[in-house]
Structure 1
Amino acid sequence: MYGGGSPVPVPAGVGNPNYASGPIAMMRNQNQSNTNQAPEHVMRGMIIRNADIALQVDDINSAMEKITHLAESSGGYVVNSNLYQDNNIAGNTTANISIRVPAQGLNNALSTLKSLATHVVQESVTGEDITQQFVDLQSQLSNLQTAKEQLSKIMASATKTTDVLNVFKQLNEIQGQIDVLQGQIKYYKESVAYSLININLSMNPIIQTEQQKQWNISATFIDAYHSLVDELRHFTYGLITFFVYFLPLILIWICIFLVVYWIGKKIWHGFK
């Protein structure tokens, strides 16, 4: 309220859960040229391009190092990487690694990846046009920021505590919606700027077969040693459990038996 007691002119739509998708018709008309027209570089197309590729390589560890170097040297980064190795089967190693590279260098990155492989098992490239979604988000963000400015002016001129609190609450709601939209816009920009490549690595079958034919005495010795240690540990745990838990119980039952036997013997001799 103002000093004259008239209602606070809060912009229409503020506080509405659907405000982000349809704020203030009046402001929309005032800002039509800004909110309904996207920048020229946006209208040319916002395309998210990602790729999936499966490769057979001679050395998985070496390939992962080269892929990491490829991502970092091109201005990108490694999203995640996982190495799986079956100790029971020699050469049975696989890996998954995901990287992001600048979108304009996606084709070059794929060519480099294929040069690391002895065989390309599978390759796919996908593209998603998010231009309209991006334009809509920018339009909603612009309207929300305009509404925030108007509410800030109203709050600055409000005189009653209840009015200040009411406008402050609506400002917080709008700021929350602004934060969400800014996060979505940032995600879209990063997804367009950096392409995601998911890479699956497996061993070259020829190399894998050769490794399986080789004697692996050291690995067998290590496995046997670990098994021995495990058995000794379990045996030790069993002894500790016996002496700490069962032995006292056995001693107690022996004592009880001796006492009962002694009493019974006394009674028996008493009858005689």
Structure 2
Amino acid sequence: LSTEHLDYHKTMDNYFDAKMILLENSKNRIVNIDDSYGKKAKKRFPDAVTFGLSEEADYRATRINKIEDITNFKLKGIDFTINSIADYEVYNKLAAIVTLNLMGASLEEISSKLKEFKGIPSRFQYVKNDLGKNIIIDFAHTPRAFEAIFKSIPKDVKTIAVFGINGDRNAEFRRLIGNACAKNDVFAVVTTDDPKFETYEKIRDEIVLGIKEYDGEYKTIKDRKEAMIYAISKANKGDYILMLGKGEEHFLKLNGNEKTPYNEYETVLEAIAAQ
């Protein structure tokens, strides 16, 4: 759990209790034992099946190895391959594997299907290009999600992140995401997301404040497409350019809650074509 819904739940304890309603009403309970809230859930529901990387997990991924744009690991003696290098995707896939296995699918069958599965849009989604650059679209919009993506990227290449932050809620995210960029040596291109009833300039300045706290590098470009063009042009072959925050939302809220049509994937393709 992260703090993104505290404007509704008020406290993390309330948020956790709300999530536990799902487990209370489930026949089979599956929790991530590597996560602190997963551990709390296991204590509340001792019959829960657990997954993770630690030895105490009922379903434990071992021998994790990244090769280019795939990740290999072993689970109960079976080899698995997933089409992503995002660390969090190992956990996501473990949750799916456990669910399917409990429903009756064999691990061998699940492994075979996972090799063919290319992922879902806007979850560490690679955008094909002829530039030799790793261009990724992801819906990440919380400090924890940004951190998770940044830590998944190889350390021997440059990472550039193009993003803005929503207006009118979770204002503390702005400084924290700025911090995350600087701490992980990510070049931030701060652009527009959904300013709503705030201004791009106000949101931008609060993000930049967080970047400066840890002496990070950044550039501010209000127009999202122009920001993408700049980021792609700045990257070298093999570098990672992360387009974060919008994902599958096919709109921008530039004026209050009025939705202006927008497509992140198509805009990225236009930015690539402009190189």
- Report the TM-score when normalising by structure 2: 0.20
Structure whose alpha-carbon radius of gyration is higher: 1
More helix per residue: 1
Which protein has greater RCO, CA pairs closer than 8 Å, 6+ apart?
1
